[in-house]
Structure 1
């Protein structure tokens, strides 16, 4: 993951330090999931540290960070397709893409990964980490996002639509973690 950390740090640390701290927190959460994702642990760690790279000012072409980040990772760094697809679709980005009129573009360029556990794992990591990189509950995280962007903003509308799916994904990951623990 050092290559992913280097990319994310270069793009975010100076220009968007809070976004960088959040990304570091999301990556720390990903470390806790190694047991349930097995040999795919490196994929989730890479996607976690890189998930918000599209916010970097120099990469913000469409203004939709999942798409901008995934395109950057694919085109400039030739990152593994599974990682770019996770970044492009993290935390139910298809719903936000729909709000922005970009759903067809996102689906065509970066189809949703069929590995539900990896998709859920990245949702869990992102939606249980505060903007300051600290652990939180998904419910508190959704409320924080709505509060920061406003309920009627594109992000506010999207996150409220995605909320049931976010909670379901987090619940599935938490169940997998409980089942993986020795009894």
Structure 2
């Protein structure tokens, strides 16, 4: 039986996995979830799915879940295998913020793409990118450009994450711009 995805359910799982072990990562996840709640009106029936994915997008960093060392894949597998989570949720977590490009850097592209194909829902995918890439590591607000610069600074330009985020930056900025335009066009 597939677990019903709710923000409350997602919050309990993320806090259990990240709260004590990785409090800064948990703060970031809470900030990303707050952004998702703010923009949920864009997604109508998928607002709760966005918030749940935002809350859980980094759960794969939890030490006990870090099997491959690639958090999107580890988190999606955990949600699928231990929680029987909805396939749309696991696919969002697996592919958040252009993870397929990082998977390529790590030699895991085929594995990720086969197990968790990218959703064919551009607004939902872009919305999760927006939430993640406009939230600091401590859960505060930032711009996508500042966030990308922070990630490059933290991981270095030549490491796997640094190379990936630099490759992904144009796509990240495009996603954020699309969501910002949709928010302006959407009446409150």
TM-score normalised to the size of structure 2?
0.96
Q: CA RMSD in A?
A: 0.6
* Residue number in structure 1 paired with 2:80: 74
* Residue number in structure 2 paired with 1:18: 24
Task: Structure 2: give runs of 5+ residues left out of the alignment.
Answer: 1-6
Q: 2:92 aligns with which of 67, 71, 86?
A: 86
* Residue number in structure 2 paired with 1:38: 44
Deviates more, 1:33-42 or 1:152-161: 33-42
* Residue number in structure 2 paired with 1:130: 136
Displacement of 1:181:
2.3
Deviates more, 1:31-40 or 1:87-96: 31-40
What secondary structure, in the 3-state scheme, does the structure 2 residue paired with 1:152 have? Answer: coil
Residues 1:116 and 2:122 aligned together: yes
Alignment: residue pair count: 182
Q: 1:2 aligns with which of 4, 8, 11?
A: 8
* Residue number in structure 2 paired with 1:96: 102
Q: 1:56 aligns with which of 25, 44, 62?
A: 62
User: Aligned partners of 1:14, 1:32: CA distance in 2, in Å?
Assistant: 26
User: Aligned partners of 1:156, 1:52: CA distance in 2, in Å?
Assistant: 17
User: Aligned partners of 1:24, 1:79: CA distance in 2, in Å?
Assistant: 20
Q: 2:179 aligns with which of 170, 173, 183?
A: 173
TM-score normalised to the size of structure 1?
0.99
Structure 1 moving runs of 4+ over 4 Å: none
User: Aligned partners of 1:107, 1:172: CA distance in 2, in Å?
Assistant: 24
